[in-house]
């Protein structure tokens, strides 16, 4: 009986993931975005975010803040957390979009996947970035 309950719990948690986005402004009106490189990023998420933004039609670049182009309208920062459950995977990704000149938060996104079946880092970035920046 315990084995059956354990199996049901594992199957039930296998596909659990959450996505939360919040908008305080309209980031879809922006054109020039800059992703601040996180020094502890081992997944090259900044480059994945830039690729996703470029695919959505934005002019995006990444690197340290000292290399940010003058025309940048918003800065995207991110925080990632990895876990090891029989394999190394990205368990959480938090994104924040701030206006370059005002410093106000325009949008945030958070993806959390504490499951056995996990998405790749590129899939996680797509899952978070698309609802924030998809133009209507």
Give domain status of residue 9, yes or no. Answer: no
Give domain status of residue 113, yes or no. Answer: yes
Q: Round to the nearest angstrom and report the end-to-end CA distance of the chain.
A: 51
pTM for the structure as a whole? 0.82
- Domain count along the chain: 1
Query: pLDDT above 90 covers what percent of the chain?
Result: 55
Query: pLDDT above 70 covers what percent of the chain?
Result: 88
Give domain status of residue 6, yes or no. Answer: no
Give domain status of residue 102, yes or no. Answer: yes
Per residue in 74-106, pLDDT (tens digit) is 999 999 988 777 777 788 999 999 999 888 999
Give domain status of residue 23, yes or no. Answer: yes
- Name the average pLDDT for the chain: 85
Domain that holds residue 37: 16-133
Give domain status of residue 7, yes or no. Answer: no
> Both tokens of residue 133?
């920046």
Other CB atoms within 10 A of residue 93 CB = 26
Question: For residues 110 and 127, is the Cβ–Cβ distance under 8 A?
Answer: no
CATH number for the domain spanning 33: value is 3.30.160
Average pLDDT over every residue of 98-126: 90
Give domain status of residue 5, yes or no. Answer: no
Which of 1, 39, 18, 14 is CA-nearest to residue 124?
18
Q: Is the pLDDT of residue 32 over 60?
A: yes
Give domain status of residue 2, yes or no. Answer: no
Residues 6+ apart with CB under 8 A from 21: 107, 108, 109, 110, 128, 131, 132
Q: What gap in Å lies between CA 64 and CA 35, rounded to an integer?
A: 8
């Amino acid at each position: 009986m315990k084995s059956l309950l354990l199996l049901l719990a594992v199957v039930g948690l296998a596909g659990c993931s959450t996505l939360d986005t919040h908008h305080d402004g309209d980031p879809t009106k922006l054109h020039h975005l800059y992703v601040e490189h996180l020094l502890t990023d081992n997944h090259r998420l900044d480059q994945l975010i830039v690729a996703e933004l470029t695919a959505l039609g934005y002019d995006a670049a990444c690197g340290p803040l000292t290399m940010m182009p003058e025309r940048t309208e918003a800065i995207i920062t991110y925080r990632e957390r990895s876990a090891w459950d029989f394999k190394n995977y990205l368990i959480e990704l938090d994104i924040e979009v701030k206006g370059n000149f005002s410093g106000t938060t325009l949008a945030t996104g958070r993806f959390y996947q504490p499951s056995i079946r996990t998405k790749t880092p590129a899939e996680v970035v797509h899952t978070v970035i698309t609802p924030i920046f998809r133009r209507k």
